[in-house]
Amino acid sequence: MTQVTPPQPAEPPVTTVVEMIRASAKIDPDKLAITCGDERLSWGQFDLRINRAANALIDLGIGKGDFVAILSPNSIAFAELFLGTLRAGACVTPLSTMAPPEALRKMIEDCGAKLLFLADQYRDLVAPFLDQLDLTCIALDFTADGTAAYDSLLAAASDTDPMVPIAWDDPFNLIYSSGTTGTPKGIVHTHWMRAVQTDRVEPNGFADNARTLLAIPLYSNTTIVSFLPTLIGGSTVHLMSKFDARKFLELVQAERITHTMLVPVQYKRIMDVPDFDSFDLSSMRFKLSTSAPLRADVKADVLARFPGKLIEYYGLTEGGGVTVLSADENPTKLHTVGVPAPGVDIRLIDADGAEVPKGSVGEICGRGPAMMAGYFGRPDLTADYIWRDPQGQMFFRSGDMGSFDDDGFLVLSDRKKDMIISGGLNIYANDLELVVLRDPDVTDVAVIGVPSDAWGETPLALVALRAGATRGAKEVLVAANAQLGKSHRLSAVEIRTELPRSSIGKILKRELRAPYWP
């Protein structure tokens, strides 16, 4: 099995995230710890509920090596269950609420989760397969015959910290890629990796009475990398169960929010609120962006009208290569994603695995202290993801293409893989193409990303139909989208007589994309 060996950080962590948050709770028990909607918990209250969640899991037979699945919107229950799972020594597995039923089933089967904590609004997603799996379903916010209620389990559990010992290489969380076909890849983060990431707590002000507003679901690594530092810093997390641009601004003003982490599409929607300039946003100190490139014009607008620092991160859920752009300090570099983070080494390689000359475009490979343990149960996929330099050091391949400018700032270019990033979510064109090709009238298809004001980019299917087909683009679109998860649906279908191919039969997607991109 491939052994992932990240480099040691300059200052290695000495305590786990579990211990760090446990310590934060004791500093000021009366201080506000977390809010969501009308619910508000002090640190003392939150800590006791985390203990109850941990003990409820232990009472259900959960322990080291077990996976606890959660399918829910953001809520205080989700947050305390996330942390309670860790305190019980188990691995938290937050599932994407945007995944279709078949993908969710494969995720649960893949990790062998014993428990699924389920929110009412997602019951329909698991209904097709729930009674076919060997797991216990627990209702977070509804009642149903034969289904245990989370609140009842919590009330019956002890509020004493179980003090389960945690090892550095114990799995912390399992995050699945959002595939629509095949088996999604499970990304394993250990307690060591998450502890290494706490180096951003102090520099980003999370320990300075931060009030962090998070509007991205807790199943996303994008949220987790701000959620955990805020709690480790003994500060306050404000969760939105569903993102709304105007509501976001209202909360920033009312709660005097200091920090946030958003994906680019959210920044665009916030800046487009008609009366944006009427809100008092003067409390904001740090605005973070990741998951997809934030367009230079949007960065400029944020810098001009939205107070506080703007920091963009480029990286992968798998870890390894991370770059940081402090946009306010580098106004001439808004077209880039910044420079490698401290302790991170980034190389650019060609198709043969050789490093490209300075200034040339190559596949981005990264190495740093925070790297996943591997893809769950798939050492073959983990091995495929690795590139080694001449000294044998291990780097993760990103599949993205880029180049460094003369000042060492990374400029992203075309993607090696046909991945589309829509609203901060990764969509693989091949997954969508396989679904479209199930249509008996379709003989050929290419899915490409095209510009979208709402989502950054969105998938478009270019389709060739069989001779004599009577159905058109609309019918093909409806049939395909009925089989795809909400986050993967096609925005449109266009009919072509044929698709351009190379001499070896490869569809020329660059040629197909050209008319849509300036």
Q: Is residue 189's pLDDT more than 70?
A: yes
Q: For residue 371, tell me if it sits in a domain.
A: yes
Q: Which of 99-103, 137-141, 376-380 has the lowest mean pLDDT?
A: 99-103
- Amino acid 414 reads D
Whether the Cβ atoms of residue 395 and residue 320 lie closer than 8 Å to each other = yes
Q: CA end-to-end span of the chain, whole Å?
A: 45
The candidate with the shortest Cα–Cα distance to 273, out of 241, 306, 299, 300, is: 306
Identify the three-state secondary structure at position 316.
coil
Q: Quick count: other Cβ atoms within 10 Å of Cβ 383?
A: 12
Q: For residue 77, tell me if it sits in a domain.
A: yes
Bridge partner residues of 151 (DSSP): none
Write phi, then psi, for 362 (nearest 5 degrees). -150, 170
Q: Looking at the structure, do residues 436 and 376 belong to the same domain, yes or no?
A: no
**Beta strands of 145-295 (E only): which ranges?**
148-149, 171-176, 186-190, 211-214, 236-239, 259-262, 286-289
What whole-number percentage of the chain has pLDDT above 70? 97
Taking each helix axis from N to C terminus, what angle separates 429-436 and 473-481, rounded to the nearest 10 degrees?
Answer: 110
Residue 299's pLDDT is: 95
Band of the pLDDT at 487, cuts 50, 70, 90?
confident
Q: For residue 37, tell me if it sits in a domain.
A: yes
Q: Looking at the structure, do residues 372 and 444 belong to the same domain, yes or no?
A: no
What whole-number percentage of the chain has pLDDT above 90? 80
Q: Looking at the structure, do residues 75 and 107 belong to the same domain, yes or no?
A: yes
Q: Looking at the structure, do residues 363 and 508 belong to the same domain, yes or no?
A: no
Q: Looking at the structure, do residues 77 and 183 belong to the same domain, yes or no?
A: yes
Interatomic CA distance for residues 85 and 470, integer angstroms: 54
Averaged pLDDT score across all residues of the chain: 93
Domain's final residue, options 178, 203, 228 = 203
Q: What is the model's pTM?
A: 0.84
Q: For residue 305, tell me if it sits in a domain.
A: no
Residue 504's pLDDT is: 44
Average pLDDT over residues 478-492: 91
Q: For residue 333, tell me if it sits in a domain.
A: no
Q: Looking at the structure, do residues 48 and 126 belong to the same domain, yes or no?
A: yes
Q: Looking at the structure, do residues 181 and 37 belong to the same domain, yes or no?
A: yes
Q: For residue 330, tell me if it sits in a domain.
A: no
Q: For residue 243, tell me if it sits in a domain.
A: no
Q: Looking at the structure, do residues 436 and 385 belong to the same domain, yes or no?
A: no
Q: Which of 420-434, 444-458, 501-515 has the lowest mean pLDDT?
A: 501-515
Q: Is residue 212's pLDDT more than 60?
A: yes
Between 298 and 340, where is the model more confident? 340
Looking up tokens 């679904």 gives: 435
Average pLDDT over residues 109-130: 96
The candidate with the shortest Cα–Cα distance to 188, out of 130, 110, 126, 119, is: 110
Identify the three-state secondary structure at position 423.
coil
Domain's final residue, options 415, 441, 465 = 415
Residue span of the structural domain in which 390 resides: 345-415
Q: What is the CATH number of the domain that holds 500?
A: 3.30.300.30
At 33-75, the pLDDT tens digits run 999 999 999 999 999 999 999 999 999 999 999 999 999 999 9
Q: Looking at the structure, do residues 369 and 461 belong to the same domain, yes or no?
A: no
Residue 2's pLDDT is: 60
Q: Looking at the structure, do residues 500 and 364 belong to the same domain, yes or no?
A: no
Domain's final residue, options 415, 446, 474 = 415
Q: For residue 327, tell me if it sits in a domain.
A: no
Residue 503's pLDDT is: 43
Interatomic CA distance for residues 418 and 138, integer angstroms: 38
Q: What is the CATH number of the domain that holds 357?
A: 2.30.38.10
Q: Looking at the structure, do residues 52 and 81 belong to the same domain, yes or no?
A: yes
At 421-435, the pLDDT tens digits run 888 877 877 778 889
Q: What is the CATH number of the domain that holds 120?
A: 3.40.50.12780
Bridge partner residues of 422 (DSSP): 425
Interatomic CA distance for residues 111 and 176, integer angstroms: 10
The candidate with the shortest Cα–Cα distance to 108, out of 68, 148, 160, is: 68
Residue 502's pLDDT is: 55
Whether the Cβ atoms of residue 54 and residue 164 lie closer than 8 Å to each other = yes
The number of distinct structural domains making up the chain is 3
> HSE on the CB side for 211, CA within 13 Å?
15
Interatomic CA distance for residues 269 and 430, integer angstroms: 29
Interatomic CA distance for residues 6 and 12, integer angstroms: 12
Q: Looking at the structure, do residues 185 and 83 belong to the same domain, yes or no?
A: yes
Q: Is residue 505's pLDDT more than 70?
A: no
**Beta strands of 200-291 (E only): which ranges?**
211-214, 236-239, 259-262, 286-289
